Structure 1
Amino acid sequence: MLREEQLDLRRQRAAQSLFRIENLGRNKVFSDYRVININNTRNTAYKVSIRGFNTGENFCECPDFKINTLGSCKHIIAVLDVLQKNAQGLPKRKHAQVTRPEIIVRYDTKLRLAILLPHRPSPALLALGQTYFDSIGDIKPNANLEELMRQVEKNPEEITVYSDALDFINNDLESQKMAIRENELRTLYANDQWHPKLLQTELLPYQVEGALFLAHRSRCILADDMGLGKTIQAMAAVELMARERNLERVLVVTPASLKFQWVEEIRKFTSRQVQVIDGSEKERENAYSTPTFYRIVNYDIVKHDLLKLNAWEPDLVILDEAQRIKNWEAETTREVKKLKSKFAFVLTGTPLENRLEELYSIVEFVDARRLGPAFQFLEDHRIVDAAGKTTGYRNLDQVREKLKPILLRRSRDKILHDLPEKVDTPIRLELSTTQQKLHSETMEQLAKLVSRKNLSKVDHNRLLKILARLRLICNCASLADDQTSPIDSPKITELIIRVKDLILSGTKKIVVFCESKEFLVAIEAMLKKNSLGYVFLHGQLPSSSRASIVKQFRDNPETMIFLSTDAGSTGLNLQFADTLFNLDIPWNPAVLKQRMARIHRMGQKQPVQSFQFIMQASIEEKVLLSLQKKNQLFENLFGKTEDQIELSSSLGQEFLDQAKIWTQPQEPPTSSAPFNSANLIATAIPFFEALLGCLKTPEGNLALEAVPESLRTHFFSLCKQISDQNERHK
């Protein structure tokens, strides 16, 4: 039923398109045709071979035909429609007569090599067919393709081997040879008989394994946890392929913020030429004329320079932070997938962030047929409710099995047993009086909106704006209310206190992440006021200046703090820092992991601590629940063995479904932050300093309310924890 629906869809597309069809052969029907789409400005043309009137008998060069497993496409249907209209000239037979032997590829659910023989084949041809092919002409499972090609060349009759069939044979033979070579090197390495000198640094055993995996597959995915050195492994694989597979041109596609980091690491660990494509169109044009081994571009450049990049004919394309192509409908994704190369590495620590469709889009760049056509993939793996909404995913074991040959993923906890301990500490803060007022008013707006039975598109947009406003209020009241003092932010107060204490206690470097640039600007002002050295990275900075910002943070002992929006949460190496502050909670769980991976990664030699700020009884606590649910899908697909997972709904719908619950009052949770005597002392000192420095009231009492609210809250919270613990020990 589903496949017939898909065929009907292609019939509709054929009827709606305007084609010019040219017969390239002599036969009026069973011939090769050029089909030109004159609907689009590019006049896209594909060759169509008509061999019969039944589905599955014909061939088209278009991408859809090669991956849809239907045996047809709109171009084939268009040609058959034209032939049917000229029915008087049609031959009585319904199939092309095979006059010469041909070896072809059948594009079914699985690619199959096949042979077409004349009605009366010669004894030699018949013997060849029976040796390597079954009764219906399909290649036998254990057929030796190398021997087959030798026999084809020896055969007295010429056998036509079509280009796609030749590619199929060559790729299969190369895969077999590469598998043998990979096993050889693995065995030699395990027996201490091969010491790979691939880079100007020593590789850890798991990195050697990763480099071997990449180097001995044509197109594959390295999905190691963030911080395990995917860039190093990719460069090592490149060196091995340059030695053994004559690699000469490597195109690296990366986020703009990481272009110069790639340059730095290539120059540090290899002797290869490297070039960044950047600047104006004229500057880029000049750059393309310069010979180089590595060429580095960001994703946006691909949209503008696709033809030039393909004209360079890279042997290998590396996609770094490949989650950038997770949305298969995005223009950037479509253009990146048009990059042509024999080899491809996809590097991503988060191949799946929210939806299984994201994984499909990334895998499609590596192997468009690996997971089957999208319509069948979604049918096989999505769980939908009566309204057609996705509620979960199933048959994940099948997905894992299909990905096993091309995807390698190792988690940090299974590989780096000696990685320094990482401590995550939630810091729960109370909203200020102004924040409570603004938050309450905005929650009332949210409650009124979600109480409506049917929400329009305008209502949906308003809902998202309300949620965004709530998050702004949690950061700083002035971001949502111009009349409010920018100092009215418990997060800023708490951050400054903790940063000062950490610096005094000998902390190396501190990284502060927040989605809101405006909030970081407010923090920047407070850092200046307190004479605290910092750098500030955000999305508006040119990529050429980002490397110098990281260098200043790393090398300048006075620069202790690295402020960053999530423009810096992917790819940057900040392992010389040992403390991380998450000032907000992003909707996407992968972003939190990306932030932590900036400092908790290879090269880190100190214990790592992170602090997550959470405003009690606020929208931020709701976000935490959403993150936990989203993490289930990622962990289930790549880290566990369960075959099915239940999801509440997609992200946007999840907001809508949960908004009513979010508007209900709740008891503020108690702090789960670990404490000890050092914590109490570290908080008590600034508390009493502030208290004793305050003016007394007319009655002679200390003005407790003059102590910053955040400091009071934190101090009394620790005191209560000690009191509670004493009660439990009585």
Structure 2
Amino acid sequence: MTSEWILFDNTELVLKKEDGELERVPADEIWKKEHGDEASVLPSLSSVGISCSRKVYSLELRLVEAADGPFGQLVLFAHGATSGPVQLSPAHTSDHVIDNNVWHAIDQYSVEQITGCIHDAGIELNIALSLQQYIEVMRKFSGFEWFSCDIHPTAKDVSIAVSSNQVSSTPSSHFTGRLYEYQRIGSNWLDFMVKQGAGVILGDSMGLGKTIQVIKVICDLLEEKPDARVLVVCPSALMENWSREFDKFSAGISKEKHCGANRTGDHRRITSSVVFTTYDIVRLDQAVLTQIEWDLLVLDEAQAIKNPTTGRTTAVKRLLRRVGIAVTGTPFENHLTDVWSLIDFCEPGALGSLSSFSARYRDDIESAKDLGAFVAPLMLRRKLEDIPNDLPDLIPIFMPIDLEESEAREYEEKRQEYKSKGLALAAIQNLIVALSKPKNVGGISDLKYEYLETVTDEVFGYREKLLVFADKMPAIGEISRRYERMVPTFTLTGADPSDSRIEVVDKFSSVDGPALLIANPRVAGAGLNIVAANHVFHFSPQWNPAIIDQSDARAHRNGQTKPVTAYYPYYASTVEEYMWEKVRDKRYLSKEVVTGNKGQINPNEIAEALSFSPCSRKEKYV
């Protein structure tokens, strides 16, 4: 029995020797045999109907679709200068290829580079990639001429694929909310990524319900792992809203706030499944919060860590976590280092060090495009106009804001002082004024101004316009001062002549890009068409629901081409919360908001409003 060639997978020749042993023969030996080496004992290629070509093929590594995963698979191809590519099996290790019964040597340099990179990355060919492997492939292989992508998976692609393939499971016993379809898709994507151990960015626009999607994922996590620990970090102005939303959409989960001057310094006393705290507390309480390994770490308004060198960012990234979710409507604002800082929180090291990242990517369009392949599967970002039919065209966002401890005590002192003077209605008005003024002119808190800042970050980031209704001059002046150097800023206070108001609105509307109009609702709350703005922020609460609805109707009216988002912030457990409760009650009872209810305040309501106190609340703090 003589040796003979065996054709494997129609792409590779293996020598079957006389003793039956199989041997892969180097291409240079086959070449010598075919070109007159009489000493060679190899059988000729013609013995198996194959001819020999001088054309050398190169290897190419492609990222292509995978049937069992959204992040694709790596497949190896060999190709010549003119012919189409030949797909190679993972078992192909020879340095030649058979293409249409023609033998070609493979360029040795491309073989060594590709096999070395695949080995270093620890990735198998023709096997569906995980998210982390996809990121590793894109980071290490992009830029090599032998690597190409047939697919560019995005978070939207992954979320839709995950939701369509999801097998129905037992509903969570913890989650009590109801999700729009797009929210269900988003929460399924978050759940899928969390189970993969992958940190992500939820970058939906404000008004799409990022909070409820995250709460659903937290509930699912605690359903699967009852002893899981979750930390939610947010600005001070948003912590009360997180607490209330969690109460509204979940059941059977222990939660607590880690904040205030009397918070614990012993991590063993932080025992609840879900803990809420602020960025400032994370920075101050490193010794406490780094003692706990969090199963899930959620950053709300995560643009707070966009600057990679601040103490706040450093403190957050030191927290031990299995998975991190960054929640922000404005993921990237000014520089590509914003991208690095957020991704470095979600997937530490995925984009390399800050110095290597800065050397590779500059703040230009080409760099942004190149970076998109890394970021796309990690960030789900949807705008209001991307959501078909699911949302009402006016989206209300009620935002309770918890006064800090010292501010709550100051409010209580003023409440008692004003009550003791016997003029109840005047007491209410004085409290409303104290809550609206900035602290630097005798106000109680700046947290509502801070919440306005989170809104403007997103609105102006999308180059959209904002209409703010405020009826106290100190507030109008403070808001104007904060933003007049940032964007074109206009005011309608009542001090301006009535015939100039339309001119102010026209100037505001004609701005190409973001702009701010601050208006007294009794001046601009009726008659004016301000559809250039698709965001309305009610800085000052009102007793009369008609004033609120007429104010919303400046933007939410015929001629408006976008959904309108209306923000209703108020300080929790104060007269402001009572006012908003009464507005909602009166709307429900009358069903005639604009014409049937004039929103007068009666003596019983005065007494009830003065009974609200942030110091009388009972909630778990640690």
* TM-score greater than 0.5 by the shorter chain: no
Q: Report the TM-score, using the length of structure 1 for normalisation.
A: 0.37
Q: Report the TM-score, using the length of structure 2 for normalisation.
A: 0.43
Structure with a larger share of its residues in helix: 1
